[in-house]
Chain A
Amino acid sequence: MFETSFSLNDLWFMLKGAGVTLTVTFWAVLGGSLLGVAFGLMRAVSPWWVNAPIGFVLDIFRSVPLLIQLVLANAFKSIIGLKWDPFTVGCVVLAVYTAAYCTEIVRAGVLAVPATTRRAARSLGLSWTQDLTSIVFPIALRVALPSWIGLTLGVMKDTAMVWWIGIVELLRSSQVIVTRIHEPLFVLSIAGLIYFLMSFPIARLGARLEKRWREND
């Protein structure tokens, strides 16, 4: 019962898959966060006629399954004749998807700073930019960081879907091995364990940060 054809090479193959998972996550979160901060600030300070369209468009990315977004983007890329490889398409789709969530997180963070605090800062002679960089950002960061960590982990788990457009990441690499050695439970358990090890420590860190910062409020 404890015999297995799973070799060290297979484990190495899966770890390489995990590397791809992390790389996609990195680019998606980097791009998504930059976009998210820009849109979030825009949504927090701009009048409704700028705010509403941005909100509407970003909401679409949160209401359509990621799998469908990936397929659509991949098809659209071919239609307009872009020569992107699947990896780029995956990163771009996930980045936009991340941005849609990150915008709301940033916006909630900025809006969580009391107007009185900002007015106090301005009355003390801080300029608008100074108020933003040394008052709003530090306070907003405390509100936003735990959610942002949650988002990052969520995106990491959602990268499991990019194999549909042809990227071999962790889950796909485990499928490849399953097809060869026919031990789905064992191989999938290892894949699950790797996901768990990548996600759980950071999730714990996020929960601790959230708790500690709430205590100090």
Chain B
Amino acid sequence: MHYTFQWRVAFNALPDMLWGALVTLEVAVLSMVLGVFFAVVLALGSSSQYRAFRGAAATWVELARNTPALFQIYMAYFGLGSIGIQLDSFPALLAGITFNNAGYLAETFRGGLRAVPPTQMRAARSLGMGPVQAFRLIVLPQMFRVVFYPMTNQMVWAILMTSLGVIVGLNNDLTGVTQDLNVKSFRTFEFFAVAAVIYYLIAKLVTLSARLMAYRLFRY
């Protein structure tokens, strides 16, 4: 072994990397918010009475689930570019991950909707609640309980997926910053080890806060 580790270089770059981590979190959170929105639309679409909606929803879900996330990001970056929609690396990454999130979450939401017995809705309606009121106060809270854990999982997945941004040229997220530093100094192992630790801590922070939230929300 003729390699001397130089951790000081990596530690000196820590502030830059932490700023990168912030961008990483930003992409992950945005992709989750957008993903949940599209997933709800897809879940409703797949139970629609119109064939076209069902078909479109099924196509989105199956494409998202059966092709690599990296492929979806490539599609957003290179593929859309050739039909005139030029996306920068940040929006392309965001679009790719959102597409992926929505596909996986749609299935989760569909399962969640099915987990609430239809009798609940009927009972709520016969107690005099309106359809929206019954959905909001009776069905949604019960569904949320079922989908909460898969959602936190998807959030962690989203964070890990943001690391693919570097492949389409994103250079201000955690992996992008790390790669830039790496190219300048060739201390690959040190920089990426620090990045790995940061990713690990972010992932743990998300799971931990989700667990605390679940404890507060679902205690009764």
Interface residues of A (CB under 8 A from B): 60, 63-69, 71-72, 74-76, 78-81, 153, 157-161, 164, 171, 175, 178, 183-185, 188-189, 191-192, 195-196, 199-200, 203
Contacts and interface: CB of A to CB of B under 8 A. Distances in A.
B115 interface: no
Interface of B: 1-3, 62-63, 65-71, 74-75, 78-83, 156, 160-164, 166-167, 175, 188-189, 192-193, 195-196, 199-200, 203-204
B192 A63 contact: no
B204 A63 contact: yes
Nearest to B203: A63
Contacts of B163: 65, 67-68
Given A63-B156, A64-B200, A157-B69, A196 B175 contact: no
A166 B180 CA distance: 19
* 10 A-B pairs with the lowest CB-CB distances in the bound complex, closest first: A65-B163, A160-B68, A184-B78, A63-B203, A157-B68, A75-B189, A199-B66, A75-B188, A160-B70, A65-B160
A63 B167 contact: no
A72 to B, nearest CB: 5
Contacts of A192: 63, 67, 71, 75
A79 B3 contact: yes
A210 B63 CA distance: 21
A175 B78 CA distance: 10
A160 B65 contact: no
Of the listed residues A68, A80, A185, the one surrounded by the most CB atoms of chain B closer than 10 A to its CB is: A68
Given A65-B164, A81-B2, A159-B68, 5 more contacts: A63-B156, A65-B199, A195-B68, A196-B67, A199-B66
B189 A164 contact: no
A196 B167 contact: no
B64 to A, nearest CB: 11
Given A184-B79, A184-B82, A188-B79, A199 B199 contact: no
Nearest to B189: A75
Given A67-B163, A68-B192, A75-B189, A191 B82 contact: no
Given A183-B82, A189-B79, A157 B67 contact: yes
A65 B203 CA distance: 10
Contacts of A178: 78
B160 A160 contact: no
17 contacts: A64-B203, A65-B175, A65-B199, A66-B160, A67-B167, A68-B163, A79-B3, A79-B189, A80-B1, A81-B1, A171-B71, A185-B79, A192-B71, A195-B68, A199-B66, A199-B67, A200-B66
Contacts of B78: 178, 184-185, 188
Contacts of A69: 196
Nearest to A157: B68
Nearest to B186: A75
Contacts of A60: 200
B65 A203 contact: yes
A196 B66 contact: yes
A203 B66 contact: yes
Given A68-B192, A184-B82, A191 B203 contact: no
